[in-house]
Amino acid sequence: MRNKNYLLFVFFLFIPVFFTSCKKAEEKPAPAVKKPEKPFPPITEERLSLWIDVAGDIGAYIRKVSLREEEVYEKRTLVMIAHSSARTELEYSNIFKKRGMTAREFWNIVDEMDKVRKYLDIKKEELEQAKELDRLINSGIDEVKALQKTLENEKSLERKKSIAKTVRAMKEKISEFRSYKANISPEAVKIDPFLLNLWKNYKQKYETALAAMWKRTSAGPVRKSYEHR
């Protein structure tokens, strides 16, 4: 009887705990569903022209809110200044709101233009390397032709074997040099070919606007305009 009473006591003791646990489980908020971010508008001449205008506004903003001796020549520093107070954050947001461009789109254009510039730098290096390889290949071909003529007129069997071995080695080296010639396409690095033409037409205006946007006060070497991050 005593054991039965004890079990009943334990049962009634855990009833409140059980209902409290169920209530807490019911009250647990559902995890917030993150809304997918809107895709960026295509980078067109109009959007790039607008970007140049926004860059001018950002430059004026930097010089207004930064300290006299404070250098601001990268995105991270600019964002720190923009969020340093409610006032600066509001001013920063209003720049984009007024122009009809989000901050995300602004920095996406910087990133995409940076990718295009780097791609074109690689293509330039490819061209220079190809010229050097062509020089070595053509020189090797001429040498092979000269050795083959020598081989035709050579009487010594031992000498012929030696020349033939040299010719084979040189042909292999020529083939190796040809394999070094690269040709990276825009598609391979996920660059819209349209952006290449846009870069050629707007390169000067874009780089001038990007360089003018930043503030640098020291006498040290100036960073290239595209080093924004």
Assess if residue 177 is contained within a domain: yes
pLDDT at 33: 62
Assess if residue 56 is contained within a domain: yes
Question: 51-85: b or e for each residue (b if 16 or more CB lie within 10 Å)?
Answer: bbebbebbbebbeebbeeeeebbeeebbeebbeee
pLDDT at 29: 56
Assess if residue 95 is contained within a domain: yes
Assess if residue 1 is contained within a domain: no
Assess if residue 74 is contained within a domain: yes
pLDDT at 30: 55
Locus of tokens 């707007």: 202
Token pair, residue 68, equals 């006299």
Amino acid at position 65, single letter = V
Assess if residue 109 is contained within a domain: yes
Assess if residue 30 is contained within a domain: no
- Is 99 in contact with 54 (CB distance < 8 Å)? yes
pLDDT at 37: 76
Domain containing 75: what range? 45-213
Q: Across the 229 residues of the chain, what is the mean pLDDT of every consecutive 10-residue run? A: 44 45 49 72 96 97 93 94 95 96 97 95 91 90 89 84 89 89 88 94 96 80 42
Assess if residue 154 is contained within a domain: yes
Total domains, the chain: 1
Question: 122-158: b or e for each residue (b if 16 or more CB lie within 10 Å)?
Answer: ebeeeeeeeeebeeebeebeeebeebeeebeebeeee
